[in-house]
Structure 1
């Protein structure tokens, strides 16, 4: 089966009424099925970006990830990223949040991340790996991961310390 697939992306902020909705991304892209593992990126207004990573998973479940600073504030000048991968393909990481480096948008003034929620897929018999790497002035300070066994329902909790 080598027919192309069309992926449609819609990123909007809902208004009080439908006519007040604001669209940041409203686009469709066609991707050939034999294209393999890779990313499709949609770029919208005001620098908004939506990146979808494609790969082959059989019998998978979705995992919704939430990121929060639960104690204190995010250390000033700390750069790094949160990523997700599966135990089956630990090298193929999907970047979820990149922070620092002067972007000024990933970490809010209160120390919390602006992009708190992400959805990834993992094989139902597999394991999801969420990792954080952080550095300051080119020196590695944090390199940690937490692993979650896939579940058909319920919640799992884990902590990463930066």
Structure 2
């Protein structure tokens, strides 16, 4: 019996079979029963049996139990350390500054405009996507009252690469002030179209309220929540609200069916934008349900064309323009139905009084670019939309 190999006995655990196969692949033999792995010879002296719970844990992993709660993989000298859970952080404790300021954030590496110049036909080009119209601080609780200085991160993860697609990110020294008149976060994304498939998208929020000192900062909202779609073929609007201990956040979202990605650039080609005027740049997208309302769930969808996607509001500051005369938008990527269109509207205001309103519209394309011009008297702007199909693969 001592010379019978383990694999020949017929009742060895499944982990032992895997061990024997691994040894065979390396040209080793399992050896006689009770001998050391990969070697012949007499069995080692008996040791005191390990506790039952530890022994079962080791057998379930196909390992041998040893002293100190460690498990030794057969045929290997490497020892696996026993997992010791870390103590939980006290409830209500503020996260470290590195987390609060968004350091270590792993943003989505897949850029926009992936297939603008080279369309790929190996996958469906018209994917359903998620449009983020706005994120609003809808309510506060306790002693919190607006205005509030807010910083932190809001992100969306989708099934394409599962990385964070940042839609809001502010550091503590660059926080945004939310007021009763304007309780909306200034969105800086998404950086590419967000796929909205049968696998849910994930909303991540980590927002802080800036205090007089770092130790007085408070958690405004902290959540991770799946976002599931209706089983529908039609574009529609929907709202999601998330309530925490101190606040309620409201997301205004759109499910855009059979969509393509549009990346928008505006460049000043003649004249200049006067510092005394405020500039607002908005995008609107329309599609099939804007022309022909369709039932979605227990409601009738009339499309998403009435909702504004704010690309930039210069407020009381100078219009931001880079060295190539391109206007620096807060966000520039939107989703458009493949049978729809996108409209870019420019509003010139003096204070709250509107002086000029001009717009340019573009029919959706699967690839390439569309160009038009907007003239607002004191300057002429070139509007370029780069189109791209959307892949469900991170390639």
TM-score, structure 1 as length reference: 0.65
Structure 2 counterpart of 1:42? 168
Distance 1:119 1:134 in 2: 22
How far has the Cα of 1:59 moved from its partner?
Answer: 0.5
How far has the Cα of 1:144 moved from its partner?
Answer: 1.4
Quick one: which of 302, 320, 327 aligns to 1:107? Answer: 320
Matched, 1:91 2:306: yes
Matched, 1:55 2:227: no
- Which entry has the higher C-alpha Rg, 1 or 2? 2
Asked if structure 1 preserves the Cα contact closer than 8 Å seen for 2:320 and 2:327, the reply is yes
How far has the Cα of 1:115 moved from its partner?
Answer: 3.1
**Residues 1:159 and 1:117: Cα distance change in structure 2 (over 3 Å):** farther
Greater fraction strand: 1
Once the two structures are superposed, what CA deviation does each residue of 1:61-105 show, in whole Å capped at 9, x if it has no partner? 001111111112111211131011113333201000111413x4x
What are the within-5 Å matches in structure 2 for residues 62-141 of structure 1? 62-87=261-286, 88=290, 89-102=304-317, 104=318, 106-108=319-321, 112-115=326-329, 118-141=332-355
**Residues 1:28 and 1:129: Cα distance change in structure 2 (over 3 Å):** closer
Greater fraction helix: 2
Distance 2:365 2:156 in 1: 32
Asked if structure 2 preserves the Cα contact closer than 8 Å seen for 1:86 and 1:128, the reply is yes
TM-score, structure 2 as length reference: 0.29
How far has the Cα of 1:47 moved from its partner?
Answer: 2.8
Gaps of 5+ in 2: 1-104, 109-150, 158-165, 176-186, 191-251, 291-303, 377-395
How far has the Cα of 1:50 moved from its partner?
Answer: 2.4
How far has the Cα of 1:158 moved from its partner?
Answer: 1.4
Distance 1:140 1:74 in 2: 15
Gaps of 5+ in 1: 1-7, 12-24, 32-39
How many residues in Structure 1 have an aligned counterpart in Structure 2?
Answer: 133
Per mean C-alpha deviation after superposition, the further-off stretch among 40-49 and 150-159 is: 40-49
Distance 2:285 2:374 in 1: 17
Q: Secondary structure at the match of 2:368?
A: coil
**Residues 1:78 and 1:70: Cα distance change in structure 2 (over 3 Å):** same
How far has the Cα of 1:145 moved from its partner?
Answer: 1.3
Distance 1:30 1:153 in 2: 25
